[in-house]
């Protein structure tokens, strides 16, 4: 028994406006590829979605290195200044009373940023290879990446809060390090990479993926 390929909006020459949701046949009746209701540009797939996502993901990976090697915070006292990287902070927090906080910092600052990049690379590679397996799981993974992105600035917020709170000059004060700037860059660029990825590509059949992303 043959199974017919399910029709998609793209195969029918239709596109949904990402701003107002209006479904329009491409090209639009007025000859323009813009939504007749809100003026948003219409395209069946986000232009250069894969290329942009790869470029941003690689940029985030490059930023991830100094984010973990450079100090994120410097504590100044009359006895001198002590700078800590993310991992040094985790090690110092690892004690019988603070080990849960150490785990939270390690997961939020080291594991999740790297895990997001690995997951995005997996989505990009499977789309480029034309995989038709586990589409539902890959869409859920994409949604998870979008959800986590909203909370990835937690470490930056904590760093900012501590710096603002501990300003007891000349006894003790805290200054942000260069690492926190790179860490914020990792978070922002990764969010841009995830937003550049078009999840509709997951459902495209291999022969459709060879077409341009208009």
Residue range 168-207, pLDDT digits in tens: 777 788 888 898 899 989 999 999 999 999 998 998 866 5
Confidence of residue 140 (pLDDT cuts 50, 70, 90): very high
Q: Looking at residue 36, what is its pLDDT?
A: 85
Q: How far is 44 from 66, CA to CA, in rounded Å?
A: 38
* Contact status, residue 196 vs residue 56, Cβ threshold 8 Å: yes
> If you count them, how many residues does the chain have?
214
pLDDT of residue 86 exceeding 50: yes
Q: Above 90 in pLDDT, residue 61? A: yes
What does pLDDT average to over the chain?
A: 83
145 has a pLDDT exceeding 50 = yes
Q: Per-residue pLDDT averaged across 89-106, rounded?
A: 84
Strand positions, DSSP E, 67-132:
73-77, 80-84
The pLDDT-based confidence of 212 (bands split at 50, 70, 90) is: very low
Question: What's the CA gap between 126 and 206, in Å, rounded?
Answer: 11
Which of 85-89's residues contact partners 24+ apart within 8 Å by CB, and which partners?
85/179, 86/110, 86/155, 86/179, 86/183
Q: What is the pTM of this model?
A: 0.79
Mean pLDDT of 108-123: 92
Choice between 159 and 90, residue whose per-residue pLDDT is larger: 90
Which two structure tokens, joined as six digits, stand for 35?
A: 């939504």
In the sheet with 167-168, reading across from the earlier edge strand, the strands are 80-84, 73-77, 172-176, 167-168
Report residue 144 as tokens: 């998870």
Mean pLDDT, range 30-41, rounded to an integer? 77
**Going by DSSP bridges, is the β-strand pair 80-84/73-77 parallel, antiparallel, or unpaired?**
antiparallel
- Region 36-60: what's the mean pLDDT? 90
Residue 208 has pLDDT above 60, yes or no: no
């Amino acid at each position: 028994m043959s199974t017919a390929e399910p029709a998609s909006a793209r195969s029918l020459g239709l596109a949904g406006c990402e701003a107002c949701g209006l479904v329009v046949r491409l090209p639009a009746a007025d000859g323009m590829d813009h939504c007749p209701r809100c003026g948003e540009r219409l395209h069946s797939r986000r232009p250069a979605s894969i290329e942009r996502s790869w470029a941003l993901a690689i940029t985030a990976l490059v930023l991830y290195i100094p984010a973990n090697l450079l100090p994120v915070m410097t504590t100044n006292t009359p006895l001198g200044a002590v700078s800590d990287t993310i991992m040094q902070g985790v090690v110092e927090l690892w004690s019988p009373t603070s080990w849960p906080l150490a785990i939270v910092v390690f997961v939020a600052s080291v594991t999740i940023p790297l895990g997001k990049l690995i997951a995005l690379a997996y989505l990009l590679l499977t789309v480029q290879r034309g995989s038709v397996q586990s589409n539902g799981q890959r869409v859920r993974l994409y949604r998870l990446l979008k959800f986590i992105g909203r909370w990835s600035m937690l470490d930056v917020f904590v760093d900012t809060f501590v710096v603002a709170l501990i300003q007891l000059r000349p006894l003790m004060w805290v200054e942000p390090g260069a690492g926190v700037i790179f860490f914020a860059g990792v978070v922002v660029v990764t969010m841009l990479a995830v937003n550049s990825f078009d999840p509709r590509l997951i459902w495209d059949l291999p022969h459709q993926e060879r077409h341009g992303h208009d």
